[in-house]
Chain A
């Protein structure tokens, strides 16, 4: 994998001006001097780096979350002491909580020891020891297989795959082994205490191999859970639920939100239930469904719709891809009659097709318009063309407008 190159790419920003300076210094670079122009005005520089296609919106107030298990704790709990954390810090906090309360828990993967290429594991090795937070060789199939083996003994395994784009060597271990361990053994064995975490989704310049959203590949695999948070607060609660869940889970972390998303997050552990979608904004005319970064895009689309069209949107964050919360989505569509689903992953075979198919089965007579899917194109994820590729707010807005006028 080009992981080393990728990590280097992340850390280094080669500026055009610097490169030109090098050209000027070369003897006989007179010709080049004619070609190259120094970095011009601030405006030009801004155009060279694209503006993010979304604005992170933290949830308005701290939420109270019910604990789903038969725990003796009260149904709602206080947030307790919070701290401003971005997404990677909220992940670190969840991992810290996990290792603190579960002595069998270990974290492993490529480069996790020094803190990880996205700093999600900073400080954990010093705090918990090198037998609990450690690097593995560069081998995704080994990482997941190894993690399954730890989980089979009952210990908690938290595996990191450095980019979701590199999860495919582990596909056999995930689909043929982890997902089927309990079923095929008649529940004699299982690897429920395995969680795989991986950075996911577009990031502005990631191109083919640092931008993918592979949730659809795993949606087709009974036996695993796939979870994607939209914010630091959601990430910590969902990740803790994944780690404690008795089934193998894949937790995709929107990498573009690692630093861009920051909000108050409780320091103590808390759980957000899996397989429960969240209606983050109620509405009456259209249901908008997304997950991860795209939730913030559709939230903005909802505002645009309200402002320009007077349309009231119900915005739903799916949160768990499988097993997914059919009831919440259907209940919403029965109310609104219109559904728009949006994801970065390519259109064909993307998870929107599963949602669309189920909703038309369950809510056919309630639909006022065909279900709309606003997704990435059926191409690999491009580099320079990213602004054209992604399902941005304008494409979503346009699709919504067409649905309203259907």
Chain B
């Protein structure tokens, strides 16, 4: 596929080339034209004894003092398939996905968007305690999910609900987790949006950032040992990539040769912290520093995300090596319901992305130009998706919460004696003081 060749051309990491030489290749910079290779004329004077013998690096000597300048002005290029109006730029890059699949991509994104609107509102009305929307990043979720096998294991951060949506996680269960009701597979233990689904191979979300990264690497290692023909994908934001766990995960994946896709959603902000305060290098496509094949893609272009993930998956499994995809996108919504982003960014900036470069609009334009969608279907689908969400929402609200005994189980596989005593002590306490507790809302 052309993607791989383009990627390889930019990121050739053959054994023969040193890291220094690689960076020299990429940097026109202040020193003028890129140097294509280390000075050859020195070789005729050096005997074999004079070659570097260091175990730590494969490189040639150089006798000129030069610091390598990082290039952030003209960084790693951004791969895209569609322009902002949803038109294919290079027809050979069009994945030519069948109509059903593209419609599934579109409907997953829009259904997610609808669910986000309603659940955000429900938090505002005090019906659920907390929520995080996915506005603007839906393309990163469904584009990548569509390129994976259904059994590929997913480790997420917290803004990847579209992956679950694409895997047909029912609205009822999204809502159940947010409401912590009796249908929640997580048994009501976590804050909203901390989804998990064993059946759909989506590991339960946890709040600490980047902790999933080395875990995903371990899971990939185990998959490799099991000859499972499975890839593990690990999502994280550009903020989480600053954590030590991210560095640990990248390094382990490379040294231990794990079939993993690192998928970074670079959406411009970590709560209020813009990327200019998060890193100084060229984004998160810093894989080459670890020996990892890397690419940067337009995250709002579903086909670009799809193509990159598809190829990364194929090669990760075939070659047992990690791939890093940095999907550039924009967080249109607030960080969460606890955030008001007008405190740190302009409404104009947000509007630009919402109106001019949105994954849903771009795919819609593509659908329209293919003749696979029209205004009538759009209106009907909006109505239908809204109704589906509202139904699930009303049902979720009506259901009771799980029995308070579920506060105590699953700490260990078996309940320790001391914990059982504590459980019994709560039961006795409720017998006397139960009126002061919201027992009516909980399953008996």
- Could you tell me which A residues sit within 8 Å of B by CB distance? 104, 106, 131-132, 134, 136-137, 139, 141-142, 144-155, 157, 169, 172-173, 176-177, 180-190, 192, 222-223, 225, 246-247, 275, 323-324, 326-327
Q: What's the minimum C-beta distance from A333 to chain B, rounded to whole angstroms?
A: 16
Q: What's the minimum C-beta distance from B42 to chain A, rounded to whole angstroms?
A: 34
Point out which of A141, A190, A247, A324 has the most chain B C-beta atoms below 10 A from its C-beta.
A141
Q: What's the minimum C-beta distance from B191 to chain A, rounded to whole angstroms?
A: 10
Chain B residues, CB < 8 A from A169: 244
Chain A residues, CB < 8 A from B419: 222, 323
Q: In the complex, are the beta carbons of A172 and B211 less than 8 A apart? A: yes
In the assembled complex, B255 has its CB within 8 A of some CB on chain A: yes
Chain A residues, CB < 8 A from B218: 145-153, 157
- Contact among B211, B215, B413 for A247, CB-based, below 8 A: B413
Query: Within the assembled complex, what's the spacing in Å between the Cα atoms of A323 and B226?
Result: 33
Interface residues on B, range: 35 or more
B24-32, B50-58, B200-208: which lies at the interface: B200-208
Q: In the complex, are the beta carbons of A186 and B206 less than 8 A apart? A: no
Point out which of B186, B217, B221 has the most chain A C-beta atoms below 10 A from its C-beta.
B221
- Contact among B215, B251, B252, B411 for A223, CB-based, below 8 A: B411
Q: In the complex, are the beta carbons of B211 and A180 less than 8 A apart? A: no
Of chain B, the residue at the smallest CB distance from A139 is B248
Chain A residues, CB < 8 A from B256: 134, 136, 146
Query: Within the assembled complex, what's the spacing in Å between the Cα atoms of A181 and B211?
Result: 12
Chain B residues, CB < 8 A from A192: 413
Point out which of B256, B412, B418 has the most chain A C-beta atoms below 10 A from its C-beta.
B412
- Contact among B189, B220, B418 for A326, CB-based, below 8 A: B418
Instruction: List the 6 closest pairs (A to B, CB-CB), nearest first.
Output: A149-B218, A145-B214, A142-B248, A149-B215, A185-B204, A186-B187
Q: In the complex, are the beta carbons of A188 and B214 less than 8 A apart? A: no
In the assembled complex, B89 has its CB within 8 A of some CB on chain A: no
Q: In the complex, are the beta carbons of B216 and A326 less than 8 A apart? A: no
Given contacts A145-B249, A246-B413, 4 further A-B contacts (CB under 8 A): A137-B255, A152-B203, A173-B214, A184-B204
Could you tell me which residues of chain B, from 372 to 411, have a CB within 8 Å of some CB in chain A? Answer: 409-411
Chain B residues, CB < 8 A from A324: 418
Q: What's the minimum C-beta distance from B431 to chain A, rounded to whole angstroms?
A: 22
Q: In the complex, are the beta carbons of B252 and A177 less than 8 A apart? A: no
Q: In the complex, are the beta carbons of A155 and B185 less than 8 A apart? A: no
Chain B residues, CB < 8 A from A145: 211, 213-215, 217-218, 245, 248-249
In the assembled complex, B355 has its CB within 8 A of some CB on chain A: no
- Contact among A150, A153, A184, A187 for B190, CB-based, below 8 A: A184
0/1 string, B212-238, CB within 8 A of A gives 1 = 011111111111011000000000000
Q: What's the minimum C-beta distance from A193 to chain B, rounded to whole angstroms?
A: 10
> A189 and B208 in contact (CB under 8 A), knowing A142-B249, A142-B251?
no
Q: Can you name 27 A-B residue pairings with CB atoms under 8 Å?
A: A104-B222, A106-B221, A139-B248, A139-B251, A139-B252, A142-B252, A145-B213, A145-B214, A145-B249, A146-B218, A146-B248, A149-B220, A152-B215, A153-B223, A173-B214, A177-B206, A177-B208, A182-B410, A183-B410, A184-B190, A185-B204, A189-B203, A190-B413, A192-B413, A323-B418, A324-B418, A327-B417
Chain B residues, CB < 8 A from A154: 222
In the assembled complex, B299 has its CB within 8 A of some CB on chain A: no
- Contact among B189, B221, B416 for A275, CB-based, below 8 A: B416
In the assembled complex, B194 has its CB within 8 A of some CB on chain A: yes
Q: What's the minimum C-beta distance from B259 to chain A, rounded to whole angstroms?
A: 12
Of chain A, the residue at the smallest CB distance from B204 is A185
Q: What's the minimum C-beta distance from A4 to chain B, rounded to whole angstroms?
A: 14
> A146 and B252 in contact (CB under 8 A), knowing A106-B225, A185-B186, A189-B204?
yes
Chain B residues, CB < 8 A from A180: 206
Chain B residues, CB < 8 A from A157: 218
Chain B residues, CB < 8 A from A155: 222, 225-226
Q: In the complex, are the beta carbons of A153 and B204 less than 8 A apart? A: no
Query: Within the assembled complex, what's the spacing in Å between the Cα atoms of A150 and B155?
Result: 13
Q: In the complex, are the beta carbons of A146 and B215 less than 8 A apart? A: yes
Of chain A, the residue at the smallest CB distance from B215 is A149
Chain A residues, CB < 8 A from B223: 153
